[in-house]
Structure 1
């Protein structure tokens, strides 16, 4: 898996720091479960992400690295069906969440 990730990231022009972050993340998950992420169930991945967020109080930036790395591995392995999505708000929802006279353009 390491070689495949390295080759693909190098060919697509990703920075070495992105590669290092993704590999560190994949290694952390693999060591925790003693399996590569492709062998994990959705529940196991969700439990691990919940552990990061609630028990280890992981920052949002680091948490995103985990999600992006997992998404990258799944897409690289033609498993788009398992690619993890971060929740996001639509611009309209952001405008409506503010109090005051802001209107969505």
Structure 2
């Protein structure tokens, strides 16, 4: 089961977009996930759940929030533990903030 299939009803959504990314190992701090994610989300609010948050992704999220005022949340998932209730609660709490006004428009 994909994490999106499990978490979609827990977030109260009918559908959760899944961004297909290459399955390549990190190389010198670069992740093959970055390009597809950035292209898909463009300037839309985004919450991303993933394994350990790399410095590059954390910097991207901070830049979006501070420079462009785009709601962006990165929720790290413990690799050895997997997706649990806490990250879902973190995303729900984020959705309960003023980010909801951006999503409705």
TM-score, L = length of structure 2:
0.35
Instruction: Give the structure with the higher percent strand.
Output: 2
Instruction: Give the structure with the higher percent helix.
Output: 1
